[in-house]
Structure 1
Amino acid sequence: MIDEVTSLQQTRRLTEGAILSAVFVVMLLLSVFVPFLSAVLIWFLPLPFIIFVIRHDWKSGLIMAVVSLLLSSFIALIGLPFALLAAIGGVTTGELIRRKKEALMVLAGSSIAYIAVLVLLYAGSILLFDIDPLASMQDVMRQSTQQAESMLESFGQETSENMVVWQDMIDQIVKMGPLLIVFTGIAFALITQLIAQAILRRLQIKAEAFPPLRDWNFPRSLLWYYLVISIIYWIGVEEGTAMDIVTWNLFPLLEVAMALQGFTVVFHYCYIKSVPKAIPVILMIFGIVSPFVLLLARILGIIDLGFQLKKRLKSDTK
């Protein structure tokens, strides 16, 4: 009797794995060969692995990942990098959800997985194919900028200061490679996790939701890192040195963290004052395009981490 139950479970696991692998391969094919679908489907690729690992375990998920990667390499070799990213990230996310970890812990773990795969793909592209993806992107952007400048000159207009700033930013792309990889990994982890939470709810699979933004808090030690890196950034170091590269990559990342911490203060204040939820959301969206709003948010974030501003606001309302 026990052997029959075990056999049934194994058969069910194999069947479910085969179905989800087929779903993954179909989505991968559509994302590779139907360009307008790739912008949407790329975020859904980790879902089959997430669902399978939650229902079984990470070991079964790895077997499914290997099978899916083999199928992907036979059918669409060009889609193998996306398949590897989705497989490793999906298995990691699924296992953390299966262990009932908090949403922010799931985000942290899956972000590390996606970043590790991106680093592996980047290194593999250079070592195996002698192609630097960042340098290639830099060349494409330079060509586009030159075409834009030629169009402006044909209309009798001079190159604006914004174009010069844009060219300087293009020159820094390779140096800021680690930052771009980290941001890409975190963004991929966040979007896929949000999609997974919505799908899992429909499948009646429990997954911890993200806490309200007003309750988010970065470690207070991050403030000291920010202050030290800010001083080094504004004083300046010799260009091309290791410290120069570290500063260029850490400073924007820490500025984003401070701004996000500041927006948690805004959301917290609006919550305790019963301000409509749309107001802080609009402010946050506006802050993406407004340097002044971002500056205010960073100042709030620094004050909050340094003096626990949100706790003081809470005590004032009692």
Structure 2
Amino acid sequence: MVNHKLAPLTESGALSAIAVVMALISVYVPVLGTVMAIIWPLPIIILSVRHGIRWGIMASIVSGVLIALLIEPMTAIRMVVAFAPVGLMLGFAYRKKYSAVKALISSVCVSIIAKSAVLLMVMFLMNINPLTMQVDMLKEAFEMSLDIYRGAGMSETQLTQMDTDFTKGLQLVTMLFPLIVILMGTLDAYVNFAVAGKVLRRLGHKDLPTLPVFEEWRLPRVLVYLYGFSLVGMYWGGTRELTVLYQISINANMLATFLGLIQGLALLQYAANRYQLSKLMRGIIIILILTNGAFIQILGFTGLFDILFDYRRRFTMKK
């Protein structure tokens, strides 16, 4: 009885310590800290899968307390609230034998809710608007760059045009803030799903679900309807000055376009395999596409059309 309890207790302590170290790195080490923050739920996932959700919850609480003591309480709260639910959800999904798609979608939803909760908490408890703070930082950096360009002899006409373009871009970023939160939550969940799967398989958990290979990914048709309705909403919101409708619609439009791009990349991967393109050629094509806004739009539209017409099935029929 004692030995049975010792293993999860010992492993919980070790993984909690790892989580604290990862939190310290995320706060004090540039670049690597961002990576550590994203995969911070990893110890919680491992513990939840191996010993149960109860141990994952306990490790989250213990890690939060230690982070509060070693760094500061608000950092601990933000870390635990933003990332622990993702680890617990993935651990629960693995233990309940969810399919890969169900596990990923459920963890994405939890991650988005968790990130939103942290933003609201910062706004109401600390009286800080994260969006306003980031916008102010960007404005200060841009003003400094304008001074540098002015000192280098750039004309006032060019500087005015740069200022106008920057202001428009900043307004768009502000309007797309909900989409940014959604993409952050999605990235967090996907990275942890992928990394945790590899780590757990090395630890002997061979029956974990896996996503289909990328070239076989097929996104739901509802995205096409979302894109269509978003265009209508943008038109109505823009012409009738319905700001809320316009913001919702432009976020939906960009989300559908982004997911269409993912579908387009999957189709591109399928075509590259079918025509046996070399890795070098594939890399060149992807770089050319992702560094050109027009090509990105074209591939996004291609992905949306592929959702409707299934070009891969048509390619297969021609074999």
TM-score, length-normalised on structure 1? 0.89
| C-alpha distance 299-35 of structure 1, shift in aligned 2 (>3 A) | closer
Q: Kindly report which structure 2 residues correspond to 1:246-257, keeping only aligned pairs within 5 A, or say none.
A: 246-257=248-259
Q: Where does residue 131 of structure 2 map in the other structure?
A: 134
Of 122-131 and 84-93, more deviation after overlay is shown by: 84-93
Distance 2:5 2:17 in 1: 18
Q: 2:61 aligns with which of 51, 63, 66?
A: 66
TM-score, length-normalised on structure 2? 0.89
Q: Compute the displacement of 1:161 (Å).
A: 4.4
> Is residue 89–residue 113 contact of structure 1 (8 Å, CA) maintained in 2?
yes
> Is residue 69–residue 84 contact of structure 1 (8 Å, CA) maintained in 2?
no
| C-alpha distance 243-312 of structure 1, shift in aligned 2 (>3 A) | same
> Is residue 230–residue 250 contact of structure 2 (8 Å, CA) maintained in 1?
no
Q: Where does residue 102 of structure 1 map in the other structure?
A: 99
> Is residue 176–residue 251 contact of structure 2 (8 Å, CA) maintained in 1?
yes
| C-alpha distance 15-237 of structure 1, shift in aligned 2 (>3 A) | farther
Q: Compute the displacement of 1:279 (Å).
A: 3.8
Deviations 1:32-76 (A, max 9, x none): 233454133223311110110110222321122122222222222
> Is residue 93–residue 106 contact of structure 1 (8 Å, CA) maintained in 2?
yes
Of 112-121 and 289-298, more deviation after overlay is shown by: 289-298
Q: Where does residue 290 of structure 1 map in the other structure?
A: 292
Aligned residues: percent identity? Answer: 23
Distance 1:278 1:93 in 2: 35
> Is residue 43–residue 188 contact of structure 1 (8 Å, CA) maintained in 2?
yes
> Is residue 46–residue 87 contact of structure 1 (8 Å, CA) maintained in 2?
yes
| C-alpha distance 239-142 of structure 1, shift in aligned 2 (>3 A) | farther
Q: Compute the displacement of 1:163 (Å).
A: 4.9
RMSD: 2.2
Q: 2:114 aligns with which of 110, 114, 117?
A: 117
Deviations 1:250-279 (A, max 9, x none): 111111111221222222222233333554
Distance 1:183 1:177 in 2: 10
Q: 2:88 aligns with which of 86, 91, 100?
A: 91
Q: Where does residue 301 of structure 2 map in the other structure?
A: 299
Structure 2: 5+ residue stretches without partners: none
Distance 2:256 2:160 in 1: 30
Of 124-133 and 197-206, more deviation after overlay is shown by: 197-206
| C-alpha distance 165-117 of structure 1, shift in aligned 2 (>3 A) | same
Q: How many residue pairs get matched?
A: 312
Paired AA for residue 276 in structure 1: S
> Is residue 257–residue 301 contact of structure 2 (8 Å, CA) maintained in 1?
no
Structure 1: 5+ residue stretches without partners: none
Distance 2:210 2:103 in 1: 10
SS at match of 1:173: helix
> Is residue 119–residue 181 contact of structure 1 (8 Å, CA) maintained in 2?
yes
Q: Compute the displacement of 1:160 (Å).
A: 6.9
Distance 1:86 1:203 in 2: 23
Deviations 1:4-25 (A, max 9, x none): 3xx4322221221111111111
Q: Where does residue 222 of structure 2 map in the other structure?
A: 221
| C-alpha distance 121-239 of structure 1, shift in aligned 2 (>3 A) | farther
Distance 2:175 2:300 in 1: 24
